A and B are shown apart, each in its own frame.
Chain A
Amino acid sequence: MAADDLAIDLRDVSVCYRLPRERITTFKEFMIKWARRRVEYEELHALSQVSVRVRRGESLGVIGRNGAGKTTLMKVIARVLRPTSGDVRVNGLVAPLLELGAGFDMELSGRENVFLNGAILGHSRRDMQRRFDGIVDFSELEHFIDAPLRTYSTGMVARLGFAIATDVNPEILLVDEVLSVGDIEFQRKCTERIERILQRGTTLVLVSHSPEAILQLCGQALWLSEGRVVADGPARDVVDAFVARPTTTLSAAG
């Protein structure tokens, strides 16, 4: 596998949140504690030694229980978090759909938010002007586009966010559990659009709690548990293993 075939190449990535035992928020406190050598940290390993490789045009589903590190993994790929150790290579323009409404300003109108969000994704105003009609059309918000975003329902915000992120021709699309918002009809529309984007050769990483969604959209899957990779391979095998996992861990944890 040549290196330039890879859209995403993570090697031994660990993300470790250092939580001070007592929260130190001021410089004064820090100096006092540091002078007494008493700055102690509790380490929380959100990801430990995770290696992921996704080839161009491939789609990877990520499954795991809450707190398994799925979102942290997405944040590392999206460059929001730099890992504590390990190597991250991401080749291509990334469109993150990590949290809908991220980068939206609730006081601005839908129209202004299309441009603001486009700018956040690194697109020029002219570029967004060209795409504007298509975005509004897909989101089905023609009548509301000049109303402030705070008057929108969650589903409407989700539609607008999805329409923008998928319209800008990303090379790598990161989708974190956002398909579950919006009504069934819109969900189907989103799934269709993702399928169409995939045909164009876009790389997809999808986080979902729904095994069906992963099987439908992803060829490969990754199962995370407590920040470690449990299984990695063809989506069918990984999802089957995940569904069939002993549920004792659930009751033990719960």
Chain B
Amino acid sequence: MLASLREVFRYRSLLRDLVARDLKVRYKRSALGILWTMLNPLLMMVIFTIVFAHILRVQVEHFTVYFLSAFVLWNFFAQATSWSTGCLLSYAPLIKKIYVPRSIFVLATVLAGTVNLLISLVPLAIIMLFVEHPFTPALAFLPVPILLATMFSLGLSLALAPMCVMFADVVPIYQVVLTAWMYLTPIIYPLSAMPDRYRWLLLANPMTHIVEAFRTPIYQGAIPSAHVMISASVAATVTLVVGWLIFEHYSDRVAYYV
């Protein structure tokens, strides 16, 4: 594992090129370009705020910020992992001809997602200004949950990527799983809204803690509790290590399939 990390480091200039290209390609074809990163959460916010605050009347103070702070993080996770499902296939011509550490393609895809997440913090800040939500020093803590979310997404992406090459239907299956997963994560509703009987389901979900670690500094202006941070860190680290090992084991077979 150490040797492969060193190898990824040697190819860091390729990694940077791939991230830049990924972002460029994603926005080149749309008229509004990078504005989409900002508009997408804005529009989602309008829809969800209307539905949950005014129609379903979810009782959460400052619902807009409560929801949006979790949603941008979820959106990053969902996008990064879904993009990763196709990334080995899209680089197939390269994989078949030249050796580069294959993990670099997954890494580039997830990091492009992280850059996207950082960009989407701008509309989040605009909305916070607009609804007069306070900006607190706790915001300086945000790099930690962003790092944890990136580690967790990378781990899952590394495990998924080779599977998607070998079996085409993992991609649509994963989309269904993602939808269910989103509703099993306290994003639109607070943890307390779940009946006690089922709450363990939310607590067993690593994304619950990672989302909470990201939301608390923004929404409550506080550092997340030790319990949340430990759960999130353990989940992110274990997922990354296991994902990396799975990828190492299967990545040699990828050239036979693509």
Q: Are B98 and A78 touching (Cβ within 8 A)? A: yes
Q: Which B91-147 residues have a C-beta within 8 angstroms of A?
A: 93-100
Bound CA span A39–B1, Å? 33
- Mask: chain A, 81-104; 1 = CB below 8 Å from B; 0 = not: 110000000000010101100110
Q: Judging by beta carbons under 8 Å apart, are B98 and A120 in contact?
A: yes
From known contacts A25-B168, A119-B11, A120-B100, infer whether A80 and B255 are also in contact, taking CB-CB under 8 Å: yes
Of B13, B99, B169, B173, the contact of A119 (CB 8 Å cutoff)? B13
CB of B14 within 8 Å of the partner chain: yes
Number of A residues near B (Cβ < 8 Å) is 30
The count of A-to-B residue pairs whose CB atoms sit within 8 angstroms is: 65
Q: Which residue of B lies closest to A96 (CB)?
A: B98
Interface size on B, residues (CB 8 A): 25
Which residue of the partner chain B has the closest CB to A124?
A: B13
Is A200 at the interface (CB under 8 A from chain B)?
Answer: no
- A82 and B252 contact, Cβ closer than 8 Å, known pairs A123-B13, A125-B13: yes
Pick from A28, A78, A99, A119: contact of B17, CB under 8 Å: A119
* A115 part of interface (Cβ distance < 8 Å): yes
B168 touches A26 (CB 8 A): yes
Q: Can you give 23 contacting A-B residue pairs, CB < 8 Å?
A: A25-B167, A25-B168, A26-B167, A27-B163, A27-B168, A27-B169, A28-B169, A75-B255, A80-B98, A81-B255, A81-B256, A94-B99, A102-B97, A103-B94, A105-B21, A116-B17, A119-B14, A119-B16, A120-B14, A120-B94, A120-B98, A122-B14, A125-B13
> What would 13 more interface pairs be, CB under 8 Å, given A79-B99, A102-B97?
A26-B167, A28-B169, A30-B167, A82-B255, A96-B97, A96-B99, A99-B97, A102-B94, A103-B94, A119-B11, A119-B13, A119-B14, A122-B100
- Tell me whether B169 and A102 are in contact (CB under 8 A): no
Q: Digitize A127-163: 1 where CB-to-B-CB distance is under 8 Å, 0 elsewhere.
A: 0000000000000000000000000000000000000
CB-CB nearest in chain B for A123? B13
Chain A residues lying within 8 Å of B11, measured Cβ to Cβ, are 119, 122
Interface, chain A (partner B; CB < 8 A): 17-18, 25-28, 30, 75, 78-82, 94, 96, 98-99, 102-103, 105, 115-116, 118-125
- Would you call B199 an interface residue if the criterion is a C-beta within 8 Å of the partner chain's C-beta atoms? no
Give a binary string over B12-42; 1 marks a CB under 8 Å from any A CB, 0 the rest: 1110110001000000000000000000000
Contacts of B21 in A (CB 8 A): 105
On chain B, the residues within 8 Å of A121 by CB distance are 98
CA distance A102 to B173 in the complex (A): 33
* Docked CA distance A124–B97 (Å): 20
Residue in A27, A98, A118 whose CB lies within 8 Å of B98: A98
Task: Give chain B nearest CB distance to A149 CB in angstroms.
Answer: 14
Q: Is the CB of A78 within 8 A of B94?
A: no
Q: Are B98 and A102 in contact (CB under 8 A)?
A: yes
Residue of A nearest to B97 (CB): A102
Interface centre among B94, B97, B173 (most CB of A within 10 A): B97
Instruction: Tell me the smallest distance from the CB of A75 to a CB of chain B, in Å.
Output: 8
The chain A residue sitting closest to B170, CB to CB, is A27
Contacts of B10 in A (CB 8 A): 122
Q: Which residues of A contact B95 (CB under 8 A)?
A: 80
What is the minimal beta-carbon distance from A77 to any residue of chain B, in angstroms?
10
Contact with A along B142-178 (1 / 0, CB 8 A): 0000000000000000000001000111100100000
